[in-house]
Structure 1
Amino acid sequence: MPTVKSLAENQSEALAEIGAIARQVGWGAIDILRSYYRGDSNEGDLEIKDKKDGPVTAADLAANRHILKNLQTALSHEDFGYLSEETYQGESVAKDWVWIIDPLDGTRDFINKTGEYALHIALTYKKRPMLAIVGIPEAEKLYFAIKGQGTFVETRDGTQEPRRVSTRNQIEDLAMIASRSHRDLRLNTMLERMPFKERHYMGSVGGKISTILEQKCDVYISLSGKTAPKDWDFAAPELVLTEAGGKFTSFEGNDLTYNNADVSQWGGLMASNGHCHQELYTLATNLLAEIDREST
């Protein structure tokens, strides 16, 4: 791993160097995940275990170990905190700069072999993302962004290309994407009443956001129920979307914050190409109120 400048010395240059390290670490984690996914060599046993928020596999844990070990080794000169799905102990991290990591987003899809799983690595500063990586292992693509520097996609050969969201600007022309499995009746009813041109469903938040970056879809909607998505589901996807020109907010139009006492992201979330964003979350809020009145 190369040495890097201190964030205190030159933040912009340091973030670019840290980003290069994070991409290298991300590709290594992608290789680990793909090896488990295919059952290669000695890494075929997923050792699936159930935990409170869903299953965890040997692949989650192996990728997590790789990410933490390599980031901590390469960046030991910085006072970073680390918040990972697989090591979270129920408390926020008392640091300004915190890595938020999901080594395997979409574990159920990984187990079910849908191919719809992703890798999330984000570096946050005072609860907001500054650097992000979203890896899509089965596409062998790695999306990355640094605050204020745009979003790019890197392929296995090192080729990098910028990514921008679509220019579609009428709700009736938009393609929506939502979770394949994390949908209750309330969310389904709301989605059915929104006048989208197309509706798609898939696993992994990172995977869904990648479809917006590739201009295949335009809107992703999440709504918590008995449980809620966590910081590691959103931190990296948010930045790669917003740096590509999109928007990612609550239904109230507020930015999300991360590394709070509660890592759950409760309520409604709207991610879009940005052109109808306020209109969309206003419509969603009104539809939910209508649905709730009908159910009482």
Structure 2
Amino acid sequence: MINHKIKVLDVIKIALEAGKHILDVYHSNNVTVEYKNDASPVTIADKKSHNYICQQLSKHYPNIPLISEEGDLPNYEQRQQWHTAWFIDPLDGTKEFIKRNGEFTVNIALVEKGIPILGVIYSPAQDLMYFASSWHGSYKLSNCHAILPTIHHEFELIKTAQQLPINYSNEAFSIVVSRSHFSSETQAYVDQIQQQVGDVHIIEAGSSIKMCLIAEGVAQIYPRLSYSMEWDTAAGEAIVMYSGGKVEEYGTQSPLQYNKEHLKNPFHIVTAKPNDNLVIARFIYK
């Protein structure tokens, strides 16, 4: 284990600064959109965030390799020798960024032996930071631009942030779904839940914010029955997992694995920590 060498506060401040680079582009009048080989969009904001994050992580932790959506992927023969690696999505929710709806994030995760042990997700437009580690638990921090410059030690960070899940008193059962990747399989899954348990509240959201809503307790379940990659989910899985929730492969209930030969995720279901106040929770989690 290398967690004693990793400072979550370092990673949080890197994500915060990357968010500033993204917002500089977001608030400009000219956002040029290019398209990669898989037809997914990419902007200069993705690239600026990628360059900054990789530079800073390499400076702080030169012995830990990196995998970023916008970087070159080392071959599997090399990667399978790695004990630990950073997984980075420098701008998750590029489609939401282009739509200018604010639902985009910076995702940074540390994966050890195929399991996320640290995750940081920053929403620049909302100035919200979600973070988690196997040694601290899972937390949410608001008003980051004002608060984080005043925090210099990990114990201050933990004392200032809200531990997840936050206990909401609402009695409605909520499902969060992807705003830009809503598939026919997702619709069928939602229909099945509604048939079995009655009306549910549907929340649409973009990027890894969906996983943060699960960890926070705003929603109880998030079916991801569409395309995603390991860098899309690693940070969010850490935040969900260390809040008491689960991320499991759809149909098998197996945990997701990271740094596979092929980095595409299987379809999966994200569930929040069970809430005894919701009768429906006992059905979903049994």
- TM-score when normalising by structure 1: 0.80
What CA deviation, in whole Å up to 9, does each residue of 1:199-246 have, x standing for no partner? 111111x2112222333222111113xxx2000111000011111121
State the 1:144 CA deviation. Answer: 1.1
Task: From the superposition, tell whether residues 278 and 147 of structure 1 become closer, same or farther in structure 2 (CA, over 3 Å).
Answer: farther
- The answer to whether the 8 Å contact 2:103/2:205 transfers is yes
Counterpart of 2:24 (choices 26, 35, 47) is 35
Output the CA distance in 2 between the equivalents of 1:191 and 1:88. Answer: 37
Output the CA distance in 1 between the equivalents of 2:285 and 2:183. Answer: 18
What CA deviation, in whole Å up to 9, does each residue of 1:252-273 have, x standing for no partner? 2211111110100123333333
Q: Which amino acid is the alignment partner of residue 122 of structure 1?
A: A
- The answer to whether the 8 Å contact 1:270/1:281 transfers is no
Output the CA distance in 2 between the equivalents of 1:168 and 1:197. Answer: 16
Counterpart of 2:203 (choices 200, 206, 215) is 200
Aligned twin of 1:45: 30
Aligned twin of 2:10: 21
Aligned twin of 1:139: 126
1:167-186 paired onto structure 2 within 5 Å:
173-186=172-185
Output the CA distance in 2 between the equivalents of 1:179 and 1:217. Answer: 13
Q: Which amino acid is the alignment partner of residue 266 of structure 1?
A: P
The reply to whether residue 124 of structure 1 matches residue 124 of structure 2 is no
State the 1:47 CA deviation. Answer: 2.4
- The answer to whether the 8 Å contact 1:166/1:273 transfers is no
Output the CA distance in 2 between the equivalents of 1:83 and 1:278. Answer: 38
Aligned twin of 1:211: 213
Q: Which amino acid is the alignment partner of residue 245 of structure 2?
A: G
153-162 or 269-278, larger mean C-alpha shift:
269-278
The reply to whether residue 75 of structure 1 matches residue 66 of structure 2 is no
Task: From the superposition, tell whether residues 102 and 191 of structure 1 become closer, same or farther in structure 2 (CA, over 3 Å).
Answer: same
Output the CA distance in 1 between the equivalents of 2:22 and 2:231. Answer: 17
Q: Which amino acid is the alignment partner of residue 11 of structure 2?
A: A
30-39 or 104-113, larger mean C-alpha shift:
30-39
Count of matched residue positions in the alignment of Structure 1 and Structure 2 = 260
What CA deviation, in whole Å up to 9, does each residue of 1:55-105 have, x standing for no partner? 0010000000000001101222x3x11110011437342411100000011
Percentage identity across aligned positions? 24
Q: Which amino acid is the alignment partner of residue 86 of structure 1?
A: E
Q: Which amino acid is the alignment partner of residue 163 of structure 1?
A: Q
- The answer to whether the 8 Å contact 2:168/2:217 transfers is no
Aligned twin of 2:151: none
- The answer to whether the 8 Å contact 1:246/1:271 transfers is yes
Task: From the superposition, tell whether residues 108 and 36 of structure 1 become closer, same or farther in structure 2 (CA, over 3 Å).
Answer: same
Task: From the superposition, tell whether residues 213 and 187 of structure 1 become closer, same or farther in structure 2 (CA, over 3 Å).
Answer: closer
State the 1:167 CA deviation. Answer: 6.1
Show structure 1 runs of 5+ residues with no match.
Answer: 1-6, 283-296
Output the CA distance in 2 between the equivalents of 1:277 and 1:96. Answer: 36
Task: From the superposition, tell whether residues 82 and 91 of structure 1 become closer, same or farther in structure 2 (CA, over 3 Å).
Answer: same
- TM-score when normalising by structure 2: 0.83
1:1-296 paired onto structure 2 within 5 Å:
11-15=2-6, 17=7, 19-39=8-28, 44-51=29-36, 52-76=38-62, 78=63, 80-89=64-73, 91-92=75-76, 93=79, 94-154=81-141, 155-156=144-145, 157-158=147-148, 160-165=160-165, 173-195=172-194, 196-204=199-207, 206-224=208-226, 228-251=227-250, 252-274=252-274, 279-280=283-284
Q: Which amino acid is the alignment partner of residue 248 of structure 2?
A: T
Where 1:138 maps in the other structure, the secondary structure is coil
What CA deviation, in whole Å up to 9, does each residue of 1:127-183 have, x standing for no partner? 1111110111111011111114211223221263233226689xx942110101212
Output the CA distance in 1 between the equivalents of 2:205 and 2:168. Answer: 21
